[in-house]
Structure formats: C-alpha cells, structure tokens
Structure 1
Amino acid sequence: MTIPRLVIFDVDGTLVDSQADIVASMTQAFLAQELVVPPVDAIKGIVGLSLPVAMIRLAPDVPAATHDALVEGYKRAYQALRLKNGALGSPLFPGARDALGRLAADPNVQLAVATGKSRRGLDSLIESHGLQGVFVATQVADDHPSKPHPSMIHACLRATGVAPAQAVIVGDTEFDIDMGRAAGIRTIGVTWGYHARARLAQADRLIDGFDELDAALETIWGLA
C-alpha cells in the first residue's frame, strides 16, 4: 500500500526571489509615513510574517494607526510593482520549477503552499509563473494567524488528508521551521533565502540547492 505524502512550500525566499520588490515596497511605505526606512537586513528578517506583525516588529514605537497605514502603503506599492514587473519581479530560484515538476509527477506526493502573502498576491504569482494546478492546497495570510502559528499547516493537512508524520515544510526562515515544529511535521530549511543558516538550526535538514531536495525528502521519509 502506498503512503500519501505532502510537501508544503513557503514562497518568498524559498520558491521565488522577491527581495527587490519587498524592499522597494517597504521603503515606499515607510517614506509615505515620514519614518526612517529600516535596514535591508531588518526587512529581510520579517519576510514570511503577516504584514501587521511585520510592521510592529519594524516600527515598534509608532501608534497602531501608523502600523495600519504602513500595511496599506506596502500593499499598494507591492501591487503596483507586481502589475509593472509581473513574474520578473519575483523570479523562481534556480531549480525550483524542475523540483516542483518532479514532485508533482509522483502520484504519492501532494504539494501545498503556506505563505505570508495575500490570496491576491499568491494567485497572481502562481499565474505569472504558469504554476496553476501544481498545488492542491494554498494557505495565505488572509485566512490564518501569522507564522509561526501552525494554523496554515493544519489546514494543509486537513485539505489533503495526509498524516503529520508524512508531511514536510520547506522554507527559508525560522518562522517556517518553527511553524512546522509546532504542527508536528518535519522541516527542511533552504539556505538561499532571507534568513541566515544559523537561524535555521532547528530544521531537520538543510539544503543548499533544489538539486538536494529529493535526497533530503527521501532521508526524512526513510527511503534512503
């Protein structure tokens, strides 16, 4: 009897390199509120969090109304860049498309997404890269508490019927790793994203390229 398995992917910093648009949008949002723009490393450090949580971390000393304005300013700026740049603003990392194709071709494996993006942003990204139909479940920040809360993982498990022991989250931030651990699933940290390797220390496996993903999954699932 075959065992159904699930691979859940983060998006920004894992599947796509959206750093330029994220930094540009955050810069516009802060300038519009006449605030000092956070350093690039600080902006990269909050990628994956829901925007309200991210803004509180980046600007802890401003009123709640300013946090709300920062969120709306970021959304407007990011949407404008998305319309202008399309897929070029968030290119797939090398090897991502081939890895998704290999996994999607396995009848025993289902693919899902758990992202801090909005539904509109994720749908646009999937369409721009021609990835429609690849993911059987897509969980976004609109519908869940911010990472590292395990709500998105739980939703992916319910949608697919896969047991936690057969599910893996692949992500580039400690928020992804902590989310997976909180949900009781295994974790793979990718080192090409927005958090330094040291912040991924709790991951079950670390990989330096998509060409290492299949072997990491086989090890985790006990197939090696």
Structure 2
Amino acid sequence: MSGPLRLVIFDVDGTLVDSQGDILAAMAAGFATVGAPMPAREAVLGIVGLSLDVAVARLAPHLPGPARAAIVEGYKAAYMALRAEQGVAASSPLYPGARETLDALHGVPEIVLGVATGKSARGLAKLIEGHALERYFVTRQVADHHPSKPHPSMLRAALDETGIAPEHAVMVGDTSYDMEMARAAGIAGIGVTWGYHRPEALGAAARLADDFGALAALLAEDWGAWA
C-alpha cells in the first residue's frame, strides 16, 4: 500500500468489545438507587454510545435532574465494581476478529488508528490496558472532552490531532450516533451489524460490514491490500 496517510476511527462498545452484560447490569443498579425500574433492554442498548448523562436523560425524561444524576453515579459505581470483579477481558470481551484486524491495520505504515467513544477517559484507559491495546491507537477521543455523539467534535479532534483529511478517514461503529457523527464530520461511515443498533438504523452509513473479515475487505478494496 502507498499514498497518503489514512485514519480508521473505531467506536468501542458494540464495535470492538461486547460490554452489553455489564451495561445492562450497571444500568439496572443505577435505576435501583432511585427506586425506579430499568427501562427495557432494547431501550438501554439503544442509547449505548451516547455520553452517560445524555443517555440517562433519554431513558428517564420523567425523572427530575437530581434523580438522573444519582442514576449516573450509581451506574458508574456498579460498572466499575463489575469490571473489577470479572476483569476487563471477561466483562468486555473483544469481538471475534477484532484483534486480528487491529493487528493487520496497525501493520500498514500508511494507516493510523483511533477511537471515538462515549466512555470516559478513565474507562477507556482501563479497557485498553485490560486488553493490552496500548500500542494501537494514536488518537483517543472520549466523552470527558466533547459533546455527546452524534456531534462531530470527536472526529474533528481526531482529524486535527493526526493531520489527516476527512476524505482519507473512516468511522467504524455500530450505532446510528456513530454514522450520523461521521456524516456531520464529512467522514465516510462503515456500520457494523454485530453491535447494539439494528442494521436498518444505520442509514447514514456508506456501507455495512457483517464481521471483521468483511470490514477488512472493505478497507482493502478502498485503500489497497496489506500484508
């Protein structure tokens, strides 16, 4: 492969790792702190990718601000406890083919990798450490420093940090928020169908991939094969 630098930005939950078990359990614990039942599973998974305060506001618009704030704190405490109890690799396992694809892409000198996630900086750091992914991501955009997805701030920051033009970048994610964010930033979006939003919700995606092998094939088709 030769040519300009290319940037592949990955979402995390529902794209690289399957953390739905801990997300659902932590959300149930968060709602329990205010004596309220957790919304339906589909509703909870539907907000994955949003910043936590925005996600809770969408799930519980009927609750007052202090109750929503308590849910957020309860969620954080429960999520950290679950992760500590099980370990990152067990609580948020990588999807099949994720590491192999990251290895292949990382091995191409012209390809730069990044992440854009609704996780906090601390949460992302723990996940990266738990899976020994420290060497892969040149740019890491987190909820602490940006408006919630689908605002394009995360992607604009990733482009600025790497100096790569939007036409040479791609956003890979499983939610409508990822694809809408990509479109707003002028970046092509590849929607993955193994995550938390149904494929029909990914209408802003340029293309869809059903597994990591298909994702790698799409990138190779666009940018040339790699060893």
Q: Distance in 1 between matches of 2:101 and 2:160?
A: 24
**Partner secondary structure for residue 78 of structure 1:** helix
Q: Distance in 2 between matches of 1:212 and 1:36?
A: 39
Q: Distance in 2 between matches of 1:106 and 1:29?
A: 42
> Aligned AA for 2:30?
A
Q: Distance in 1 between matches of 2:171 and 2:25?
A: 28
CA shift, 1:34, in A, is: 0.5
- 1:181-220 alignment runs, 5 A limit: 181-220=183-222
CA shift, 1:218, in A, is: 3.3
Aligned: 1:50 with 2:46: no
Aligned: 1:156 with 2:158: yes
Instruction: Name 1:132's counterpart in structure 2.
Output: 134
Structure 1: tracts of 5 or more residues without a match = none
TM-score by length of 2: 0.96
Q: Distance in 2 between matches of 1:177 and 1:211?
A: 20
Instruction: Name 1:178's counterpart in structure 2.
Output: 180
CA shift, 1:220, in A, is: 4.2
Instruction: Name 2:17's counterpart in structure 1.
Output: 16
Q: Distance in 2 between matches of 1:160 and 1:15?
A: 21
CA shift, 1:2, in A, is: 2.1
**Partner secondary structure for residue 136 of structure 1:** strand
Q: Distance in 1 between matches of 2:221 and 2:182?
A: 17
Aligned: 1:142 with 2:132: no
**Partner secondary structure for residue 29 of structure 2:** helix
> Aligned AA for 1:134?
Y
Once the two structures are superposed, what CA deviation does each residue of 1:51-103 show, in whole Å capped at 9, x if it has no partner?
11001110011111111111111111101111111120000000000000000
CA shift, 1:202, in A, is: 2.0
Does the 8 A contact of 1:186 with 1:220 survive in 2? no
Once the two structures are superposed, what CA deviation does each residue of 1:170-217 show, in whole Å capped at 9, x if it has no partner?
000000000000000000000000000100122001000000112212
Instruction: Name 1:67's counterpart in structure 2.
Output: 68
Alignment partner of 2:92 out of 75, 90, 93 = 90
Q: Distance in 2 between matches of 1:142 and 1:80?
A: 21
TM-score by length of 1: 0.97
Q: How many residues align?
A: 223
**Partner secondary structure for residue 124 of structure 1:** helix
Q: Distance in 2 between matches of 1:195 and 1:184?
A: 22
Does the 8 A contact of 1:29 with 1:70 survive in 2? yes
Classify 1:111/1:63 alpha carbon distance in 2 versus 1 (closer, same or farther; 3 Å).
Answer: same
Structure 2: tracts of 5 or more residues without a match = none
Q: Distance in 1 between matches of 2:8 and 2:35?
A: 42
Instruction: Name 2:3's counterpart in structure 1.
Output: 2
**Partner secondary structure for residue 117 of structure 1:** coil
**Partner secondary structure for residue 212 of structure 1:** helix
Q: Distance in 1 between matches of 2:52 and 2:185?
A: 22
Q: Distance in 2 between matches of 1:102 and 1:215?
A: 11
Determine what percentage of the aligned residue pairs are the same residue.
Answer: 57
